[in-house]
Chain A
Amino acid sequence: MADVNVATNLLEDSIRKSKILVVGAGGIGCELLKNLVLSGFNDILVIDLDTIDVSNLNRQFLFQKEHVGKSKAVIARESALGFNPNVTIVAKHDSVMNSEYNVTFFKQFTVVMNALDNRAARSHVNRMCLAANVPLIESGTAGYLGQVTAIKKGFSECYDCNPKAGQKTFPGCTIRNTPSEPIHCIVWAKHLFNQLFGEADPDEDVSPDTADPEAAGDAGSVALLNQASEAGNVTRVSTRAWAQQSEYDPSKLFGKFFCDDIKYLLSMDKLWTKRTPPIPLSWDNLPDESSDQQGGLIKDQKVWSPAECVQALVSSIKILYQRFKELKGEESFLIWDKDDEASMDFVTACSNLRSHVFSIPKKSRFDVKAMAGNIIPAIATTNAVIAGLIVFEAFKILEGKWEECRHVYLNSKPNALNKVIAPSSLDSANPKCYVCSPHPEVTVLLNVSQMTVQSFEDKVLRGALHMISPDVMVDDGKGTVLISSEEGETTENMTKVLSDFNISDGTRLRCEDFHQEYDLNITIIHRENLEENREFSVIADPSQLQPKAAVESSGPQPSTSSSMPASSTKATESVEIDDDLDIIFQKGDENEENQKEPPIRKRSISGQADIGSASKKLRLSENDIIEL
């Protein structure tokens, strides 16, 4: 039931002839497909990797209960065809980052529309559109807030032109030794899950950290350490092996993590001179204080007593251990999932038991889920408005009116100009952008004698720089190949450290991502140690680098407004992201009206004031990710 005769003839014609790629069939994607079909677009490809969950149904209106578990892209296509059976919609249940979606694939579209929920995919599609020279409309929502912007190579800023906000990190010793907030215990509980059932990561140790600088020189703890090592208590590698010996006996696990390890921490008495010392729990004598003031709440909003935590711990360990034993073939570990009952019960129970031990307020399963799963709440109305605004940007692009394109914000209340929907002019591209400038460059600070090639590829190139299939050559005049995207060509390099390839302070690396058609020069700066135990730090604008001496004397890092966030640390954790998240850019309230109206307290009363941090141009991405 397309309503096309309301637009101008010229626009109608270009709508009919256009071919649109919709990346994501979640909250924004569903609304967008409806708007596109109803506006007369008749050639659409929608791609989404995800399947439908019951918590999607309050806003992803193309899906109903009977669709839970099915492909979002496939069902979205079926439902959208109900609005007009005569349009062509192709559905791909797939990741847009797969290699078949190459630059040639992107070139077939008139406009690409992102309706995504994560930074890596946004960054990737941004590069593909730049390489294919196809206009991209980027969007995101978080709660009542949303935004839309248009990206055209050479005309406006790209998704990566502005460094994104740094991510929250917690030092390893806070997590392992001295938690003081619920989130510290939740992070610890997720690490414990991985130590017992998940992908083993030595950076996610849950035992007491004897190297805690605060406890240095503590003779008592050293003595106890030896004793503990004999008992097999604090040996790094064997948490899982140790658990397997007892077939994951819940009382033994409980005894270690909530009693023995806590006693050990207490022996590091320097830690407790200014802190409330933890109180070990006893399996046989668990407090079961029932709070009566929890009436009227939904089940998940009630806070468990320690006794209730242990009940949940026992039953969840049983289920998880059973699943773990049944793993076959290539699957060798479980993956934590906020939507899995047993996984959530385990983390809720363990985090609250630890909170109890450390006299930290306990949290309900509902709240633990939000923090552990990094849920950014999404609602139907915000998605509907944003999806409408995307189509208006598309109209302007189709008419070739790029100068009329806007970066549009949806605010939760009127801004100083009385605008709930506030457009501002597109910014021009950052000439030093590490993605869209003519000769992209970044500087990476790391320790060349500690960083392995494998870590460099996984954490720096793929993790922080969002590459898909990097090739890396050392710029040493000999053309030494460090990393090859060809299977097996550089496997033997992976366990070596960078200094094994004569990479030292000042060495340049030429990186190429064939799939993204993206070249990047990396300058390595050697640092013995980085602030906050970070493994590396990526800096987009080298002029922001401070003199080496200043940095090494534990001076502040270059500010995040000019540097990339250090996206990986010694204890790294990327929390899985809920859909629809995002958001993107934050700026002051400059808009086109400033030309007609006197400038009104620019920035002081920003329309985006309630996005949170009041700092400059942050991209508050989905990656409000808790990174540890």
Chain B
Amino acid sequence: MVAKEEVTISEAEAALYDRQIRLWGLEAQKRLRAARVLLIGLGGLGAEIAKNLTLSGIKSLTLLDDRVAVANSANFLVPIENVGKNVVEASLERVQRLNPMVEILTDTENITAKNEDFFGGFDVVCATRLPVEESIRINDICRKHSIPFYSGDVFGFGGFFFVDLLEHEYSEEVTVPAATCKDGCKPKKNDPSETKTVKHVLNYIPLQAAFEADPSSQLNKRSWQRIKSHFITMKSLLMFRSQMKRDPEAANRQSDIAKLCEIRDHILHEMKLDNQMVDSGIFETVFGELSPAAAVVGGVLAQEIIKAVSHKDAPIRNHFFFNGATDFSGVVEAIGF
């Protein structure tokens, strides 16, 4: 977790972070200033998260990805002349330019080569573009070291992320009516209400438990109705990635959609659910990584990391889904509890 050492905010930082200090306060900014974040996977979603966290003024951001930068990607951090280089190295200069006060580190190794000790040096781990099995492995390591863990992806028009904050304490400012005087007189009509800080604790579950959960029986009917399509789609896409060792590609549009339907039917069968429940049309819009979808999911995810690091305000528990092709909403659900 974030080191307890006293962090000071310089006058230059105060000027740069003026607006956000006004929003989340100096204490939250100091906590951000101490946070070391590992970001695995630098596609379109990773680029959005990297941008948002670097701008926010964390201590350090380690970018890890062993892939090469490709053309026509939603990763806006790669200058066109860097296509073909390692994506992390290709993006370094632009990330650093976003905020010279944040230490940007690069790692071009494959994540599977990283052992337990590697993760101990971070305060937050965020994974994108990973097979779910690998995410589960890292999440388990993070749990041992009490490190908050996020994993998320964008497929085409939509995306999702998972959060595990273990046991998370946070404070929240609530407005209460101005206190009445001791003798019981009423507060004046225009008395501003007071804010007071309340502390809460939330408990989370590991990714494996969440991924294997059956929300159709766990959630109430209305909640399940709201997320069933999101959940089945997420699970189909992650299982496609694990089985095919790649993501759906527009070049194989028809066969990939057929494969996704097959996986979906298998999932529904396992859950003993109606085969017609999730329309195959949803798979028409899962190809590539659409920039605005990465912006939406990456914006919400980065804000969640900021929230968790600063221990301020209620974090999402434990899934977020967004679909920009069908219902345009961003839904939160606690799955596996």
Contact = CB atoms under 8 A, between A and B. Distances in A.
B299 A384 contact: yes
A144 B303 contact: yes
B300 interface: yes
A35 B73 contact: no
Given A1-B78, A34-B76, A417-B226, A59 B19 contact: yes
Given A418-B332, A423-B327, A35 B291 contact: yes
Contact of A2 (B72, B78, B302, B324): B72
Contacts of B222: 597-598
Contacts of B157: 6-7, 392
Interface string B280-321: 000011011111111110111011001000000110100010
Interface centre among B44, B74, B328, by most chain A C-beta atoms within 10 angstroms, is: B328
B18 interface: yes
A300 B14 contact: yes
B295 A421 contact: no
Category for how many chain B residues contact A: 35 or more
Interface stretch (B52-60, B109-117, B236-244): B52-60
A446 to B, nearest CB: 29
B200 interface: no
Interface in B13-46: 14-23, 26, 44
Contact of A143 (B23, B223, B298): B23
B179 interface: no
Interface stretch (A374-382, A469-477, A479-487, A538-546): A374-382
13 contacts: A6-B285, A38-B74, A39-B290, A55-B18, A377-B19, A381-B306, A384-B51, A384-B295, A388-B291, A388-B296, A414-B331, A419-B329, A596-B225
A596 B329 CA distance: 15
A454 interface: no
Contacts of A58: 16-20, 55-57, 99
A39 B296 CA distance: 14
B22 A375 contact: yes
Nearest to B30: A296
B128 interface: no
A250 to B, nearest CB: 26
Interface in A333-388: 366, 370, 375, 377-385, 387-388
A494 interface: no
A596 B327 CA distance: 12
Contacts of B156: 6
Interface centre among A2, A57, A84, A384, by most chain B C-beta atoms within 10 angstroms, is: A384
A406 interface: yes
Contacts of B327: 423, 592-593
B273 interface: no
A59 B302 CA distance: 13
Interface of A: 1-8, 31, 34-35, 38-39, 54-55, 57-59, 61, 64-65, 82-85, 143-144, 296-301, 366, 370, 375, 377-385, 387-392, 395, 406, 408, 410, 412-414, 417-423, 578, 591-593, 596-598
Interface centre among A6, A143, A298, A593, by most chain B C-beta atoms within 10 angstroms, is: A6
B225 A597 contact: yes
B9 interface: yes
A297 B223 CA distance: 45
Contact of B51 (A8, A61, A390, A395): A61
Given A54-B15, A389-B296, A418 B226 contact: yes
Contact of B316 (A4, A385, A420): A420
B23 A414 contact: no
B44 to A, nearest CB: 7
B295 to A, nearest CB: 3
A3 B15 contact: no
A379 B19 contact: yes
A411 to B, nearest CB: 9
B23 A377 contact: yes
B295 A388 contact: yes
B329 A391 contact: no
Contact of B55 (A1, A380, A578): A380
Contacts of B306: 381
A7 B99 CA distance: 33
Nearest to B17: A58
Given A2-B72, A388-B324, 15 more contacts: A3-B73, A6-B290, A7-B290, A34-B291, A143-B23, A379-B23, A379-B56, A380-B299, A384-B52, A388-B296, A392-B157, A419-B330, A421-B329, A578-B19, A597-B222
A267 to B, nearest CB: 28
Nearest to A598: B222
A5 B100 CA distance: 34
B271 to A, nearest CB: 21
B72 A82 contact: no
A5 B250 CA distance: 7
A380 B293 CA distance: 16
A423 B290 contact: no
Contact of A5 (B75, B288, B329): B288
A186 B14 CA distance: 23
A379 B22 CA distance: 10
Interface centre among A85, A381, A413, A421, by most chain B C-beta atoms within 10 angstroms, is: A381
